[in-house]
């Protein structure tokens, strides 16, 4: 049986109190939301903490409210199950609803939170083994070691961003609010992520992600496609999110956003493909060319399920598929 290490456990009832505790020793303190990622990581000794601050009693972080223009503000502690069941997501943001519904399994979605999924630890076939397995060779650079065992000559860690919700939120232009004892700031969600398997979040250790702001969809259509071995439970080995707005003729691309997940240590925007598509009439040749451009920023390595060369090729197939779905 894997057991948690010893730590001090705090359950404040307000964001202010949680931020104050976090400010005391941010480097040795961790936040826990639903616990579906942190508790297993601590049991396997991937992560440690002298103090763990639970947000389970901070009621201000739960729930969804509408903005005047039809957007949504989602509390970071809102469960994945509650979001899947919220008709406002299904009606206005079907791609986001699909992405959240694809996360793990029903039991874990009951516990998991949307803020936790956005801050999900990066994953790797070496790093995500138990401590005895990792110690038998040596630790990797993501935890105690100095070598990336997936790419031994690399100066950086290539652990993979495996959050399903982030690409979907990014395709919608979402932003997040971060709160610390020093104050609050709201940043585009894109700025939260860093393409580094170890330091994968730009959020400071003393900050709490409290809200996700999703702009009104307008005329945009959205979708999300996920590649994984099983139809449930598994993390993505590729996630593709897209929002598409067509001109009045129903054929010409007015605006488009394409985001890839699980191909690097942060979600990746297919900016060249987007630039190609804007102002163009969708057709088979254009879709194929856009798909090739979308593959360029993706650099999956052999550190998760399936052969990485095949996963890179599937980027093209998925991009063509989602664009056909949204333009149908």
Residues 49-107 have pLDDT tens digits of 999 999 999 999 999 999 999 999 999 999 999 999 999 999 999 999 999 999 999 99
Could you report the per-residue pLDDT of 258-269, keeping only the tens digit for each? Answer: 999 999 999 999
| pLDDT computed for residue 134 by the predictor | 84
State yes or no: pLDDT of 132 exceeds 90: no
| pTM of structure | 0.96
For 11, how many CA atoms within 13 A lie in the half-sphere containing its CB? 4
| pLDDT computed for residue 2 by the predictor | 81
How far apart, in Å, are the Cα atoms of 311 and each of 148, 197, 236, 257, 295? 21, 19, 11, 21, 10
Q: How confident is the model at residue 129 (pLDDT cuts 50, 70, 90)?
A: confident
Measured between alpha carbons, how far is 51 from 18 in angstroms, rounded to an integer? Answer: 12
């Amino acid at each position: 049986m894997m057991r948690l290490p010893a730590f001090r456990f705090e359950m404040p009832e307000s964001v202010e109190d949680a931020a104050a505790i976090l400010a005391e020793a941010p480097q040795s303190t961790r936040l826990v939301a639903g616990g579906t990622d942190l508790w297993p990581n601590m049991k396997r000794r991937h992560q440690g903490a002298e103090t763990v601050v639970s947000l389970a009693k901070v009621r201000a972080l739960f729930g969804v409210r509408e903005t005047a223009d039809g957007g949504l503000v989602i509390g970071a502690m809102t469960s994945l199950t509650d979001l899947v069941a919220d008709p406002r997501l299904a009606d206005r943001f079907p791609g986001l609803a699909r992405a959240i519904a694809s996360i793990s399994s029903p039991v874990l979605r009951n516990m998991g939170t949307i803020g936790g999924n956005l801050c999900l630890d990066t994953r790797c076939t070496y790093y995500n083994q138990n401590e005895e397995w990792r110690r038998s060779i040596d630790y990797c650079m993501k935890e105690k070691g100095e070598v990336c065992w997936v790419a031994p000559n690399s100066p950086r860690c290539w652990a993979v961003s495996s959050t399903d919700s982030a690409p979907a939120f990014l395709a919608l232009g979402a932003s997040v609010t971060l709160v610390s004892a020093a104050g609050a700031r709201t940043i585009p969600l894109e700025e939260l992520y860093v393409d580094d398997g170890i330091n994968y979040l730009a959020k400071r250790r003393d900050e709490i992600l409290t809200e996700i702001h999703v702009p009104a969809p307008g005329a945009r259509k959205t979708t999300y496609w996920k590649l994984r071995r099983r139809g449930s439970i598994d993390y993505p080995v590729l996630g593709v999110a897209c929002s598409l707005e067509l001109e009045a003729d129903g054929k010409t691309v007015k605006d488009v956003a394409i985001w890839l997940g699980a191909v690097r240590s942060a979600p990746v925007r297919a900016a060249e493909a987007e630039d190609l598509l804007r102002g163009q009439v969708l057709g088979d040749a254009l879709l194929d060319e856009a798909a090739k451009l979308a593959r360029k920023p993706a650099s999956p390595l052999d550190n998760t399920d399936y052969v990485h060369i095949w996963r890179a090729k599937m980027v093209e197939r998925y991009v063509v598929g989602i664009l056909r779905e949204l333009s149908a």
